Amino acid sequence: GVTVSYDEGGERQTASARWVIACDGARSTVRKALGVDLDDLDFEEPWLVVDAEVQGPVSFPPIAGVPEGADLQRLSVMMCDPVRPATVVPGRRDHRRWEFMLLPGEDDKAMSAPDKVAELVGAWMADVPHEIVRAATYRFHGLVAHRWQVGNVFLAGDAAHQTPPFFGQGMCHGLRDVANLAWKMDAVINAGASPAILDTYQRERDPHVRAVIGAAVAAGRYICELDPDLAAARDTRIREEARGKQGETAHDLIPAIREGLVLSGTSGAGARFVQPVLADGSKLDECTGDGWRLFVRDDTVPGEAGGVTRVVAAALADNQAIASWLDQHGVDAVLVRPDHYVFGTASDSGEDLLAARAARLFDYKEFTA
Ligand SMILES: Cc1cc2nc3c(=O)[nH]c(=O)nc-3n(C[C@H](O)[C@H](O)[C@H](O)COP(=O)(O)OP(=O)(O)OC[C@H]3O[C@@H](n4cnc5c(N)ncnc54)[C@H](O)[C@@H]3O)c2cc1C
């Protein structure tokens, strides 16, 4: 177990638990106390972030390649302008965020002074009533902890990794971390799984986080380009590369889990499973629950086990998404983990998948030995 000491109202308290998940943010006291170092992915840029309530449309400057009058109001727009790179993000209701790169020599404090902030965002909404609700400067980093687990203490969220926010994935990473840990801890406590399955946490999560942070750092380098000639060359290159291509999303950057609690070598193993909206308007998870699920093509495909929900794709409110997924992978059964990643797939029968799941969950040490 782990004993945590903390102060409450000036008094020292202690709490004991079998495991501790340290989600105490980028400056994580727990990470430092454990002596865990960070891998620096060599990106550090200061940005000013301004939040405002805006009662009306904002005015975008002309953008090459975007027709005049195009509606950009609900889009997140990255202005790769070498004069001052900036991001404009619509929020809920009237909320809108601007992020401005600070240029070499600009002082954090002077740039977040009210008159400077008003000048920077004012140009975007000269005739629109607005109120600035917050302005703060951040250093955008790319960092990943060497170790995500020390004994029974696990680092999660920004305590374990920080990404420049260019793909909006920072909080998503933290949510995936705890989703990964939560079902495994639940399986150990409530289903008799081997505690050693928790050793797969970093092995499963670290490659995902490094791939996405690496891509965000690469995007940051071209977004933050301040040399006008290099910026012009970048624009030409990106337009050429984009010609005839579909847009990429953060989804395309996320690699499958290659090792850990997955049946590597089976088609689609380790990928995130689909979340279609069914014909009755519900989402797949609302209909099936979010524990272990074995999706089979139809009633003829065998596969049943305690602790696993069997879902017959053909019986799902006439939705084709699961059948298409099975077709695409050339299989008849797919076993999905509680965190919605694919454990593995099989043809004809789901029985071998269920046996492989049991072997890994309950005899994990022997299995890896
Ligand atoms: C400008 C900017 C834009 C971003 N945009 C996006 C985006 O679009 N999408 C996205 O997914 N992510 C985005 N992120 C990243 C996202 O905000 C973070 O990844 C996320 O907040 C991390 O969550 P966390 O719970 O790990 O840490 P935090 O949110 O930092 O929470 C840690 C908590 O622990 C508390 N704490 C720390 N130490 C102690 C202690 N010793 N005792 C008690 N409490 C303690 C802190 O007070 C805090 O409440 C952005 C970040 C920034 C800076």
Distance separating alpha carbons of residues 30 and 42, to the nearest angstrom: 23
Q: Give just the sign of the alpha carbon dihedral 232, 237, 243, 248.
A: negative
Return the residue whose CA atom lies nearest to atom 52 of ligand 1: 165
Lowest-pLDDT range of 35-49, 68-82, 235-249, 278-292: 235-249
**Would you state the pLDDT for residue 361?**
96
Determine the Cα angle at 282 with ends 281 and 286, to 5°.
180
Longest CA span, the chain? 70
More confident residue, 195 or 366: 195
At 131, phi and psi to the nearest 5? -135, 125
The CA 25 to ligand 1 mean position distance, Å, reads 5
Torsion of CA 113, 114, 115, 116, to 10 degrees: 50
Tokens of 317: 């409110």
Lowest-pLDDT range of 60-64, 202-206, 340-344: 60-64
Indicate the average pLDDT of the chain: 94
The CA 158 to ligand 1 mean position distance, Å, reads 6
pLDDT value at 267 more than 60: yes
Q: How far is CA 331 from CA 105, 298, 317, 345, 357, in A?
A: 58, 12, 21, 6, 17
Return the residue whose CA atom lies nearest to atom 4 of ligand 1: 165
Distance separating alpha carbons of residues 22 and 29, to the nearest angstrom: 9
pLDDT value at 208 more than 70: yes
Distance separating alpha carbons of residues 365 and 347, to the nearest angstrom: 28
More confident residue, 297 or 319: 297
Average pLDDT over residues 263-290: 93
In ligand 1, the atom with minimum distance to the C-alpha of 172 is 11
In ligand 1, the atom with minimum distance to the C-alpha of 162 is 19
Return the residue whose CA atom lies nearest to atom 21 of ligand 1: 171
The 10s digit of each residue's pLDDT in 53-105 is: 999 999 988 887 788 888 999 999 999 999 999 999 999 999 999 999 999 99
Q: How far is CA 272 from CA 6, 74, 208, in A?
A: 38, 27, 12
Mutate to test the pocket of ligand 1, among 171, 173, 223 (most ligand atoms within 8 A of CB): 171
Pocket around ligand 1: residues whose beta carbon is below 6 Å from it? 23-26, 29, 49, 138, 157-159, 165, 168-172, 174
The 10s digit of each residue's pLDDT in 18-33 is: 999 999 999 999 999 9
In ligand 1, the atom with minimum distance to the C-alpha of 171 is 11
In ligand 1, the atom with minimum distance to the C-alpha of 23 is 26
pLDDT value at 369 more than 60: no
DSSP 139-206: EEEEEEES-SEETTEEE-GGGTEE--GGGS-HHHHHHHHHHHHHHHHHHHHHH---GGGGGHHHHHHH
Mutate to test the pocket of ligand 1, among 6, 24, 28, 138 (most ligand atoms within 8 A of CB): 24
The 10s digit of each residue's pLDDT in 181-200 is: 999 999 999 999 999 999 99
The CA 22 to ligand 1 mean position distance, Å, reads 12
**Would you state the pLDDT for residue 248?**
74
Return the residue whose CA atom lies nearest to atom 6 of ligand 1: 168
**Would you state the pLDDT for residue 367?**
60
pLDDT value at 275 more than 70: yes
Helix-then-strand count for the chain, H and E: 11, 15
In ligand 1, the atom with minimum distance to the C-alpha of 169 is 11
pLDDT value at 319 more than 80: no
The 10s digit of each residue's pLDDT in 105-154 is: 999 999 999 999 999 999 899 889 999 999 999 999 999 999 999 999 99
CB 54 within 8 A of CB 121: no
Q: How confident is the model at residue 368 (pLDDT cuts 50, 70, 90)?
A: low
Mutate to test the pocket of ligand 1, among 112, 155, 158, 205 (most ligand atoms within 8 A of CB): 158
CB 201 within 8 A of CB 181: yes
The 10s digit of each residue's pLDDT in 294-315 is: 999 999 999 999 999 999 999 9
Task: Give all domains of the chain, ordered by start, each with its CATH number.
Answer: 21-39+144-253 (3.50.50.60), 42-141 (3.30.9.10), 284-368 (3.40.30)
Residue 283 gets the label, from left (phi > 0), alpha (psi -120 to 50) or beta, of: beta
Percentage of the residues of the chain whose pLDDT score is greater than 90: 85
The CA 170 to ligand 1 mean position distance, Å, reads 8
Return the residue whose CA atom lies nearest to atom 31 of ligand 1: 25
